[in-house]
Amino acid sequence: MRRFSLPTTADFQARRAACPFTRPLDRRTLNARLLGAVLLAMLVRLLYVPLDGFERWALPLLSVLMAGLLLTLTVTRVQLRTLHVLTLLGAWGYVLGHLWHVLFRVPAETQMQVLGSLGPWAAVLLASHLWLLGRRVSLPLSLLALGSTAALLLAHVLLTPGALHQPVVGAVLQLLLGGAVLLAGQHSAAHRALGDLRRDLLGDGDAGRETLTGLPGRAMMERWLTRQALRRPEGLGVAVIGLDAPHPGLLADATPEPHRLAHVARVILGAVRDDDLLGCLDDGQLVLVLRAADARSARAVCERLRVRVASRPVDGANVTVSIALAFQDGRQDGLTLLREAEDSLNALHQTGQNRVVLGTPPTEAPSPDTLGLQMQPA
């Protein structure tokens, strides 16, 4: 009896690589396929859908333009942006010509029926400006398209008696207002996303963020901490994180302290919870505002962060941190917790490093017998 074996992961990967539909596509190939699909849809409409007087000559012209652009994209190395602009201009020429035909050539009783098939595609075409050209280049074309549509509507109202009472005027006006809202929303979302990206990754565009790490600075953290302490003081903890001095002779000496601080910030950012906030103080220290059920749980969180940092080397050497934690007991405000954590960290660096301390540690110098124990990870 013949035995069948199940295909392995390697077999699936080999079949996927051999399949032409799963291979990664570059932008030129993807645009060529999209143009081919658009051209095929136009040919189907020409062959099987009844056309009005305008479409009988405008749709073949647009099909010829798309075929020419597809051929140009296939056999030449013309820039994609040039092809995108030509494609959008040709499409808008067809849409505006069709709108002119509806407003000035179609009888009033059938205008809404003809316009019904044009309205949705005009909105899609308007939205595609940002997709194809980007935020800056697409704005002039979008304004030109809306302005041309408004000019056609105004000419119809001025030249046609009683046009203000026609339903088609209200439909086109709704199309203009909807297009304006769509453009405003698109550009607002793109501007906000770009600003968030710059602030989160580079600290750009926000004076309250530290430039190297992109984290909130001391002033922002103090304001946020004050609000959190007033809103929900229970379970609030403040942990100040300081870099330990590298041991003499290690590779960490060759790494500047700002770079080591940025490395530690990236490591901790990958582990903080949604309710926690990581910031950067003026003196090269990090501060973590966290929520926990009690002080013991908050210290356990800090211990996990300390071990996580120590296990991820930079430039071939481990970087360790000391963490001082101040936890809310119902008497301190947010800024008091921050000052207590800073004082605890300063005292901690006098007695050892690579540790987590809750409250203020003893300031006297440790004995030689216990110094080695304090240097070990907790």
Residue 195, pLDDT score: 67
Give me Rg for the CA atoms of the chain. 33
- For the record, the structure tokens of 163 come out as 């046009």
| Residue closest to 162 by CA, chosen among 108, 118, 92, 97 | 108
User: Tokens 């305008």, residue?
Assistant: 54
Residue 221, pLDDT score: 87
Residue 15, pLDDT score: 59
Residue 251, pLDDT score: 47
Asked if CATH classification 3.30.160.110 holds for the domain at 218-375, the reply, yes or no, is no
Q: State pLDDT tens for residues 318-333.
A: 889 999 999 987 767 8
Intervals of CATH 3.30.70.270 along the chain: 218-375
| Residue closest to 267 by CA, chosen among 325, 198, 224, 318 | 318
**Hey, is 326 helix, strand or coil?**
strand
- For the record, the structure tokens of 318 come out as 């481990």
Q: State pLDDT tens for residues 121-149.
A: 788 888 888 888 888 888 899 999 999 99
Residue 40, pLDDT score: 92
Residues of the chain with pLDDT under 70: 1-25, 195-209, 211-212, 247-256, 283, 331, 360-378
Residue 239, pLDDT score: 93
Statement: the pTM of the whole predicted model exceeds 0.85:
no
